[in-house]
Amino acid sequence: MEDIAKKVGMSKNTVSLALRNMPGINAQTRKLIFETAKQLGYEYKKNSSQNSSSDTSYKNICLIFSKDTHKSEGFFSYIQYGVESEAKKII
């Protein structure tokens, strides 16, 4: 990602977001990053669960927070909410 970022003049974070098809990256930037990656000989590999034909899948997640975190409005309660929301999308 560092090589691609230097070549296109963007941050590694932007390159990472584009390669993972995350929101917040416009189509033109995403296209430039993918084209540059290809030119440099890089191939983005999906995680093994997406490539694998095995039936192994995991649907359990464990979060450990204090009781106060769940009831509060602060950094860790937002983290907890975000993790829970994303996990529910997978299930």
**Average pLDDT rounded to a whole number, residues 45-50:** 54
Question: Is residue 52 assigned to a domain?
Answer: no
- Answer yes or no: is pLDDT of 57 > 70: no
**What's the domain count of the chain?**
2
If asked whether residues 35 and 64 sit together in one domain, one would say no
Q: Calculate the average pLDDT of the chain.
A: 78
Closest CA to 86 of 1, 19, 23: 23
Lowest mean pLDDT among 9-18, 35-44, 47-56: 47-56
Per the structure, the complete domain to which residue 22 belongs is given by 2-39
If asked whether residues 6 and 35 sit together in one domain, one would say yes
Is the distance from CB of 5 to CB of 14 less than 8 angstroms?
yes
Question: Is residue 84 assigned to a domain?
Answer: yes
Is the distance from CB of 30 to CB of 38 less than 8 angstroms?
no
Residue with more model confidence, 2 or 74: 2
If asked whether residues 34 and 63 sit together in one domain, one would say no
Question: Is residue 50 assigned to a domain?
Answer: no
Question: Is residue 19 assigned to a domain?
Answer: yes
Question: Is residue 22 assigned to a domain?
Answer: yes
